[in-house]
């Protein structure tokens, strides 16, 4: 890492932050990865991994994109199964969600703003 830019591996660099690579909760010593504007997560989910509880009143916009595998996301008022690389689901403030990996999956999540 240098001033103003960084390079690395998402699996390694986000290992101690539950997959979160960018966000307000990243130590400022990590440089541009510490951001109040956006959060980025790289997540490896084994088949059967799930979030059984629903989020509650999140006031951010979220984009979830499938890199590989098969992944279901349930949101207030509906659900979708993503099974092709590049499939995505996006929702705005006030929409609750839960998810389940139907197969081993890699998922990229982007949320904004970071600090709420």
* Tokens representing residue 71 in the block: 């992944």
Whether the per-residue pLDDT at 1 is higher than 70: the answer is no
List of domains in the chain: 40-115 (2.60.120.10)
Q: How far apart are CA 66 and CA 10, in angstroms?
A: 15
Residues above pLDDT 90, as percent of the chain: 85
Question: pTM of the full predicted structure?
Answer: 0.91
Distance CA 96, CA 16 (A): 26
| 40-80 confidence digits (pLDDT tens) | 999 999 999 999 899 888 899 999 999 999 999 999 999 99
Residue 61 near residue 90 (C-beta atoms within 8 A): yes
Contacts of 99 (CB under 8 A, 6+ apart): 50, 51, 64, 71, 72, 73, 74
């Amino acid at each position: 890492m240098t001033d103003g830019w960084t390079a690395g591996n998402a699996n390694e660099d986000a290992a101690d932050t539950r997959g979160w690579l960018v966000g307000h909760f990243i130590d400022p010593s990590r440089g541009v990865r510490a951001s109040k504007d956006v959060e980025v997560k790289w997540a490896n989910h084994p088949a059967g991994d799930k979030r059984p509880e629903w989020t509650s009143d999140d006031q951010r916009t979220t984009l979830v994109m499938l890199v590989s595998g098969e992944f279901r996301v349930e949101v207030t008022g509906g659900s979708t199964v993503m099974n092709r690389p590049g499939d995505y689901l996006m929702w705005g403030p006030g929409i609750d969600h839960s998810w389940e990996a139907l197969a081993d999956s890699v998922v990229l999540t982007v949320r904004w703003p970071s600090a709420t």
